[in-house]
Amino acid sequence: MLQVSMKRLAHPHLLHRVASVLLSARFPPPRTAIITSSLRSVTSEASRPPLVPKTFPSSGFGLIDSAVKFEEERLPDYRKDAFYPVTIGQVFVGRYQVVGKMGYGTTSTVWMARDLQAHGFVVLKVHVHPMPPVRELEISRYLDSVEAGDHPGREIVRTVRDTFELQGTHGPHEVFVLPPLGVSLRHLQGLPETGVHDRSVVIMALQRLTTALNFLHGPANVTHTDIHADNILFGVEDESVLKVFEETEMTSPSPRKVADGVIIHQSLFIVESLAPVHLCDLGHARIGDEHQGIAMLLRYRAPEVILGMSWGHAVDMWSVGMLAWTLLEPEELIQLRRQEDEARNDALHLAQLTALLGPPPPEFLERSPNTKQYWDADGTWKNSVPVPKERTFEALPSSLEDADRKVFLDLIRRLLCWLPEDRLSSNDTLHHPWVSEPSVNESTES
């Protein structure tokens, strides 16, 4: 089995903002390609000459055994030809030089790049071909047009800055240019032995998230639908962190795998940054008040979505409640089986919600004929999957002291309600006693 080592970097100017820069694993490289661009003009950059691209090492890196599945190859539906072969050192559209890999997923690989014109750093999200239908670019452009004055939530939502296209062997690959950010809440959560975040970090994250949702649900009238710890990333306010990222690839090149003419680089993560978090990935967002159909991460899915009811902004608030619990408590609220068995998973999901929340009110049951598969008209559970009656909020293990847990459970109960209209709004959540505590940033700066 391949064991990937974790490297730690120190930097003298980052002590109050970044606890460490952690290098860890995860993406692909190049073929000959035609590149087309649709970049917006940036007049403020004309006064400075562009940077000269750097020459990155062509040796001195570890080689992964070609028989070992590495990075995106470990994805269940991985196809080599779907991914564009990005390599470190490549320059795209005469402007962006790739300096390192940051991650990968089923729809894209993610790379840190130096903007040679603007003398800064950006993130390149290089999509697979064919690209699945996502709304990130459409929603980003829409949000840029929203009149919201100086709403503080706008800058918390990461949007696409620019886009260009790479022509691969099997077709075009769309590339999004995004502001650089650090590690996600999920990756940071894996570092402590407890597997949970410090209370102050969770409060800071909820303050930022609910402020972002106040902008999305209010002036923008947008539902995000995909709120979870992978899509909330720490900011990087000190550019020297990004320079360390680049310098590390120059002085200690990351391991890579070379097989069948394709190079797959190991990913590097910038972690433990205390810069405020941002809400990312608008690919599944929806504009408008009311929608139909499946949405949301399976284990975070709101009951109205599971049961085929119409849904709106309140599904995001359900996700906020689920996220808050996941970040702070050692055991997941909802435990599901294999995703292939959707019908049984829905029954398991709703049975656990019935144990946690009590039976749904008649008003909720009347909103979809699908509720008859699970409850009688009076809310009595009738499905063959049993309700785990012992699974209550109070019975689940907690990382909080009793008094603090009581206030936290009040927040969770007011977010996880059967009726969407009964859930706290983003503004109400922001002012809930548990969330309105001083954030981690305020504590460190005082």
Residues with catalytic roles? 226
Residue closest to 293 by CA, chosen among 281, 313, 311, 319:
311
Residues 6 or more apart from 69 whose CB is under 8 A from it?
none
Beta pairing, strands 256-259 & 262-265: antiparallel
Query: What angle do helix axes 402-415 and 314-328 make, rounded to 10 degrees?
Result: 150
Are 423 and 319 contacting, i.e. CB atoms less than 8 angstroms apart? no
Element (H, E) at 262: strand 262-265
Q: Can you tell me the distance from the alpha carbon of 41 to that of 44, in angstroms, rounded to the nearest whole number? A: 9
Are 206 and 320 contacting, i.e. CB atoms less than 8 angstroms apart? yes
Which own/partner contact pairs does 407-413 have at CB distance under 8 Å and 24+ positions apart? 407/433, 407/434, 408/324, 408/328, 408/434, 410/434, 411/321, 411/324, 411/435, 412/321, 412/324, 412/325, 413/357
Q: Can you tell me the distance from the alpha carbon of 244 to that of 238, in angstroms, rounded to the nearest whole number? A: 11
Residues 6 or more apart from 43 whose CB is under 8 A from it?
none
Q: Can you tell me the distance from the alpha carbon of 257 to that of 261, in angstroms, rounded to the nearest whole number? A: 10
CA torsion, ordered 157, 220, 133, 137, to nearest 10 deg: -60
Q: What single string gives the DSSP state of each residue in 332-367? A: -S-----TT-HHHHHHHHHHHHHHHH-SPPHHHHTT
Element (H, E) at 211: helix 199-217
Q: CA gyration radius for the chain?
A: 23
Return the structure tokens found at 202. 């969770």
Q: Is 67 exposed, middle or buried (0-12, 13-18, 19+ CB in 10 A)?
A: exposed
Which residue is it, tokens 């690989």?
A: 109
How many residues comprise the chain?
A: 446
Are 110 and 127 contacting, i.e. CB atoms less than 8 angstroms apart? no
